Amino acid sequence: MTGTDGGDPWDVVRSLPTGRRVEISDPRGPTWTGTTVPRQEMSGERIVQLKLDSGYNVGVRVDPSFQVRLIGDDPREERKRAPGPTAAPAPVDDAPWVALLTTGGTIASRVDYETGGVRPVREEREILEFYPELGTRGRVRIVPVLDRLSEDITPSDWEALASRVVGVFGEGAQGVVVAHGTDTLAFTASALSFLLQDLPGPVVLVGAQRSPDRPSSDGPSNLAAGVEVARSGLLGEVVVVMHAALSDGRYAIHRGTWVRKMHSSRRDAFRSRNGPPLGFVDATGIHFEQPVRPAGAGPPRADGPLDPHGGLLWFYPGLTPTQAERFADELRGLVLAGTGLGHVGAAHLEWIRRAIGAGKVVAMTTQCLEGNVDPFVYATGRELQRAGVLYLGDLLPEAAYTKLLWALGHATDPRAVEALLLSDVAGEFQWRHVAGDEA
Amino acid sequence: MKAGLEVHQQLATGKLFCDCPSELSETVEGSFARRLRSASGENRSVDPATEFQASRGLLFRYEVSDASCLVDLDEEPPHPINPAALDVALTLALLLDARPVDEIAVMRKIVVDGSNTSGFQRTALVAVDGHLDLDGRRYAIDSICLEEDAARKVREADGEVTYRLDRLGIPLVEVATGPDITSGAEARAVAEEIGALVRATGKARRGIGTIREDVNVSTEGGRRIEIKGVQELRKIQEYVDREVGRQQVLLEVRAELKRRGAVAPAETPVDVTDRLASVSSGPLARSGRHAGSVLALRLPGFGGLLRAPSGSDERLGRELADQARAVGPKGLLHSDELPAFGVEDREVKDLRAVLELGPDDAFVLVTHPDRTRAELALRRVAARAADAIEGVPGETRDPLPDGRTRYSRPLPGRERMYPETDLPPIPITPEHLARLGARLPERPSVTRERVARDTGLARELVLQLVGGGHIGPFEELVRRGHAPGLVARLLVQDVPAVPRAEGEPEPEFPIARLDAVLTAEEAGAFAKEGIPAVLRELAGGAATVDAAAGKAGLSGLTPEELERLIDRVVDENGAMVAERGDAAFSPLMGDVMHEVRGRRDGQEVAAALRRAIARRRADPAP
């Protein structure tokens, strides 16, 4: 079959399904023989991407003078039927188990080596194929909860996750691991910290900074370390377990409300602010360096709801009071990430007073991300505090925001919301900041 | 015999996917450690080469130097491809009449030996379907690729391999020929010509290890063997010739195995530790094997075929041992070389009886403190023995300094490659190609002809000038009025000979500085014999040519001083001159040159000395 009996060969090529073997001949040049791969979204006009027999992909511009010949399906189809690696050993029903909740982040996705496409992994069998070591120390039961990138996750997803966590504890899980995309992992960790009460075991969020389609991915070892912590029963709170450094082999255990993604790509992007992590996991076991919240007798509760009518606003020079007031308009409460000790420009005092007068809650955190806010050091702080702005100590802006949604969900009176915001719900405040290694 | 070459040349354009310099560095600022795993693909087929390497479960340590950034550490996505490196590859495509692709897709080639922090090497096919004409023959150029160089291995200990990251990411342009080469000598000539082409672009890195060749060899009846990473061009010929010899021996072994009707050996090992309890020396001695078990494998039909046939150094036994070594054991013992290595004749007879072997059968012995390693080794030995019945298995081999090669890993399959999803496709436009086409460097063949014609320099010197990429500085210095012979010697001999620390690149001298050296020599400040010393001082930090000559002890000998020095030497040896006449010239020349040490030209010294001897003979001193 050719595409040149009067027609445009591009029409033939563009309509080919993935995986067809094709020969494209340039009458003045070479003949390209290869297999069609999915069209690159960023490819140019009339360009077809072919996988050549050498394994290389190339883009060929299909000129109207070219000859196109289909040479059957990819003969390598046959090989794809090869049986997969053996699944995990059959679980003993009463054996202790850890629940692995998946949300669609990149910790568990599978690459199609023919095309480069990536799809999330859903089945237990598949996960164990990637991470065979998970099955060696006990059972891991896969519980798919969400299937979306972490930037698409919303507060209602946090509630859904929380109720699934409670559900699997009810079914007898020793601990829970949540595999999550790293972009908003810290938000989810904070939200779950406030939502989940009376935990009988660890809830561990893990992620991968480097994609699972590369042999160097940090996903497998983060997951293994996370399962280790979840199995340990050593704590009853929400934590994040990720690489502690650029090396494999040492993993930090961060309290869910203290942690933040501090780098866009490094493995050790997750850092506890204002102090060291709770502890570490390495080849010798789990070591705590801070007091942890112990596991309770249960039963756990999903302490919702969250009221999504809360917001987070990063102050910057140039932010006008009109813009800020408009942003606050539909909200019941607002967390400001202010400058330094917790300031916004004096011009903002007016709308803030109006907002608080109208029954909104306005709380202050620092965009420095470390250290306390303090309203008493400078005049602006004193004025903001007099206007009714609530200063939230050393809470990270993200932690304050998720706590606000939780507090708004639990009280209608602004003063009651403020009281909840100031209360210790999940060990989120650190009252003592030490100089640490830099001293 | 048919051979093809892949020539890899490092480029001095800066790294391919980040903004680090393409330079090696001795400044180690820290290190980190990683493990790699083989990711399973959609089609469930893990590439054989990948799986093999991953099975070794190593810890990789990486030394970070000032020539690496987060991209090299696999801590940051790749930056867009280096446009200067891409231009070199496209320029080569045009020089080799190849067809650039319309859109480049950067691929990831899985490599889990740790030499890439990511577990893959980024590589892109830039052009296909070119050709190289050399000495009246045409060689197909199948592909021109652009890829990242790997990290360099600095040491290897038990279960841990240390790499330095400086080399990782340096661009490599890879030119692959078709299987058109018919001899080792031809292979070398083609490799040299491709190297000269890359250097003609002016962007090639210089020095040891900046150009490496992979040689693909297949013989009639054999399969493709890839000898990977030959660094010395002059060795290509030897590797090719010896590989042909190795394949011939293996094909003879196959013929005999077929005649005997040999079949693939069973993989079941037999524990013979107790049978060898009395061995007291050699690799199987109880003290020597850390009390590990000794396992035996039967090889029915292989008797007498594991040793080298007379007149050859190649043997199947070594191929089997290479397989065992790849997974831990130091090697193996096979029945064709026993009794020896502390194993007595009666023990061999006993083993043969226990293993129920006939006269045509062979066995191998392996030991390792970790029994599973020994078992794994024997499974691989059994598989390799089975391959011997089929002939020469396709594989990748490492070149050894003595001209032999050693099994390295299976040939990689195409399953090893998948797209680099972090980089969009790169369009190659006709306008871009036209721009490069308008400023193509001269082809080396044309340059050689022109320089030989214009300068009358010897063919070998012209080859070195052009092949070494020195033609730009050469022509500029000649244009500035320096003698071609002197300039050529300066560039191909004196500059590369400047002493430097191991691993350091050749020193780079700006044209103006070389110009000043030659000018000073021509003005008589020092002789051409003094040039290497002047260069050495300049490389060592001397600020000017004068200062360098001074530090080298080359300045301050005027023609008058030379005359006085010669007169003194002749005076001191008046008796010899009187006795031997002109024949005194040679010994006296030695004495004079020893004192002149490159401060004046040798011919000038000789002439002055001859004059002084003549004067003395005409007017003997009182």
Q: Where are the domains of chain A?
A: 9-78, 84-302, 310-422
Q: Is residue B257 part of a domain?
A: no
CA distances for B312 relative to A247, B220, B298, B321, angstroms: 48, 19, 25, 18
pLDDT of B167 > 70? The answer is yes
Residues B27, B114, single domain; the answer is yes
Q: Which of B419, B434, B463 is the last residue of a domain?
A: B419
Query: Best of A50, A214, A268 to disrupt the B interface by mutation (most B CBs within 10 Å)?
Result: A214
In chain B, the residue whose alpha carbon lies closest to the alpha carbon of A221 is: B35
Q: How far apart are CA A262 and CA A81, in angstroms?
A: 43
- Mean pLDDT for the stretch of residues B316-336: 90
Residue A105 pLDDT: 63
Instruction: State the pLDDT at residue B49.
Output: 54
For residues B58 and B190, membership in a common domain is answered with yes
Query: pLDDT, tens digit, for every residue of A284-309?
Result: 999 999 999 999 998 999 999 999 99
- Which uninterrupted H or E stretch holds A119? strand A118-120
Across all residues in chain A, what is the average pLDDT?
Answer: 89
Residue among A106, A188, A365, A402 flagged as catalytic: A106
Task: Give the separation between CA A217 and CA B74, rounded to whole angstroms.
Answer: 9
Average pLDDT estimate for B71-79: 97
- Record: contact A54-B414, CB cut-off 8 A: yes
Average pLDDT, chain B: 88
Record: contact A215-B108, CB cut-off 8 A: no
- Residue B55 located in a structural domain: yes
**How does residue A183 score in pLDDT terms, banded at 50, 70 and 90?**
very high
Interchain pair A215, B44: CB under 8 A: no
Fold adopted by A310-422: Rossmann fold (3.40.50)
The pLDDT, as a whole number, for residue A3 is 44
Nearest to B43 among A80, A129, A214 (CB): A80
A315 — contact with chain B (CB < 8 Å)? no
The pLDDT value recorded for residue B37 is 77
Judgement on whether residues B210 and B278 belong to the same structural domain of the protein = no
User: To the nearest whole angstrom, how far is the Cα of A210 from the nearest Cα of chain B?
Assistant: 8
Domains A84-302 and A310-422 share a fold: yes
Number of folded domains that form chain B: 3
Give the model's pLDDT for residue B559: 80
- As for the ipTM of the complex, it is 0.90
Nearest Cα to B153, choosing from B63, B18, B230? B63
Which one is catalytic: A36, A257, A261, A366?
Answer: A261
pLDDT at A243 over 90: yes
Tokens of B94: 């045009």
Alpha-helix runs per DSSP H in B355-428: 371-390
| Residues B220 and B269 grouped into a single domain | no
From the candidates A8, A63, A183, A303, which is the catalytic residue? A183
> Does A80 participate in catalysis according to the annotation?
no
For residue B41, the model assigns a pLDDT of: 43
Separation in Å, CA of A368 to nearest CA in chain B: 24
Residues of A numbered 260-279 whose beta carbons fall under 8 angstroms of chain B's beta carbons: which are they?
Answer: 265-267
Instruction: Identify all chain B residues contacting A56, using CB atoms and an 8 Å cutoff.
Output: 105, 107, 123-125, 143, 145, 417
Q: Determine, yes or no, domain membership for B218.
A: yes
Would you state the pLDDT for residue B88?
A: 98
Q: Do the domain assignments include residue B296?
A: yes
Find the helix or strand (DSSP H, E) in which A384 lies. Answer: helix A379-387
E-strand ranges in B178-283 read 211-218, 225-230, 270-271
- d(C-alpha A326, C-alpha A165), whole Å: 37
B44, B198 in Cβ contact below 8 A?
no
Q: Find tokens 């990637």 and name the residue.
A: A130
Residue B30 has pLDDT above 80, yes or no: yes
Length of chain A: 439
Tokens of B594: 């020893």
Would you state the pLDDT for residue A136? 66
Q: Residue A113 and residue A115: Cα distance in Å, rounded?
A: 6
**pLDDT value of residue B52:** 55
Residue A115, pLDDT above cutoff 70: no
Statement to judge: residues B16 and B162 lie in one domain: yes
Residues B209 and B310 in one domain: no
Q: Which domain holds residue B567?
A: 559-618
> Rounded to an integer, what distance in angstroms lies between the CA atom of residue B169 and that of residue B174?
14
The token duo for B326 is 């790849």
Q: Are residues B35 and B173 in the same domain?
A: yes
Q: Is the pLDDT at B303 greater than 80, yes or no?
A: yes
pLDDT (average), residues B427-434: 96
Say if B73 falls within a structural domain. Answer: yes
B361-408 confidence digits (pLDDT tens): 999 999 988 888 888 889 989 999 999 998 888 889 999 988 889 998
pLDDT tens, position by position, A19-50: 889 999 999 889 999 988 877 777 888 999 99
- Contact: A130, B418; criterion CB under 8 Å: no
Q: What is the average pLDDT across A210-230?
A: 89
pTM for the model stands at 0.83
Neighbours of B235 (CB within 10 A): 18
In chain B, the percentage of residues whose pLDDT exceeds 90 is 49
| Residue at a domain's end among B401, B419, B437 | B419
B142 and B193 assigned to the same domain: yes
Question: pLDDT tens-digit profile of A58-68?
Answer: 999 999 999 99
Q: What pLDDT score does A78 carry? A: 42
- The residue of chain B with its CA nearest to that of A129 is B40
Q: Which tens digit of pLDDT belongs to each residue from A398-426?
A: 999 999 999 999 999 999 999 999 999 99
| pLDDT at residue A110 in the model | 65
The answer to whether the Cβ–Cβ distance between B103 and A58 falls below 8 Å is yes
**Which of A41, A60, A246 to substitute to test the interface with B, most B CBs within 10 Å?**
A246
- pLDDT at site A84: 41
Mean pLDDT, range B116-126, rounded to an integer: 95
Same domain, B355 and B210: no
**Could you tell me if A18 lies within 8 Å of chain B, comparing CB atoms?**
no
Q: Which residue has the higher pLDDT, B430 or A434?
A: B430
CATH class of A9-78: mainly beta
Q: What are phi and psi of A42, to 5 degrees?
A: -100, 10
Domain assignment of residue B387, yes or no: yes
Average pLDDT over residues A306-330: 98
Q: Which of A197, A196, A165 is nearest to A180 (CA)?
A: A165
Q: Mark whether B33 and B173 lie in a shared domain.
A: yes
In this predicted model, what pLDDT tens digit does every residue of A258-280 receive, in sequence order?
A: 999 999 999 999 999 999 999 99
What kind of fold does domain A84-302 have according to CATH?
Rossmann fold (3.40.50)
Establish if B347 belongs to a structural domain: yes
**Best mean pLDDT range from A182-196, B229-243, B382-396, B561-575:** A182-196
Q: What is the mean pLDDT of residues A189-202?
A: 97
pLDDT classification of A80: cutoffs 50, 70, 90: very low
Using alpha carbons only, give the angle B373, B320, B111 rounded to the nearest 5 degrees. Answer: 65
In one-letter notation, the amino acid at residue B238 is E
pLDDT at residue A79 tops 60 = no
In chain B, residues with a C-beta closer than 8 Å to the C-beta of A55 are 107, 109, 413-417
Mutation pick from B6, B43, B433 vs chain A, by most beta carbons of A within 10 Å, is B43
CA nearest to B243, candidates B264, B225, B265, B269: B225
How far is Cα B253 from Cα B308, in angstroms, rounded to an integer? 10
pLDDT of residue B17 exceeding 80, the answer is: yes
pLDDT value, residue B42: 37
- Mark yes or no for CB contact B107/A111 under 8 Å: no
Question: Is it the case that residue A231 has pLDDT exceeding 90?
Answer: yes
Q: What is the pLDDT of residues B242-288, one digit of tens each?
A: 888 899 899 999 999 999 999 999 888 999 998 888 888 888 887 65
Q: Identify the weakest region by mean pLDDT among B315-319, B481-485, B502-506, B508-512.
A: B502-506
Q: Which residues contact A119 (CB under 8 A, 6 or more apart)?
A: A109, A110, A112
Nearest to A59 among B108, B123, B425 (CB): B425
The reported pLDDT for the residue numbered A206 is 96
Per-residue pLDDT band at A168 (split at 50, 70, 90): very high
Distance CA B321, CA B529 (A): 53
Q: What is the pLDDT of residue A194?
A: 98
Q: Summarize the confidence of residues B456-480 as an average pLDDT.
A: 89
**Residue written as token pair 């992590």:** A277
Specify if B278 maps to a domain: yes
Beta strands A109-111 and A118-120, pairing class: antiparallel
Among residues A182, A257, A365, A366, which one is catalytic?
Answer: A182
Least confident of A119-128, A333-342, B111-120, B601-610: A119-128
CA B434 remoteness from chain centre: 35
The question of whether A366 is a catalytic residue gets the answer no
Whether the CA torsion B452, B457, B461, B466 is positive or negative: it is negative
Between chains, do B109 and A57 touch, taking CB under 8 Å as contact?
no
Both B55 and B196 in one domain: the answer is: yes
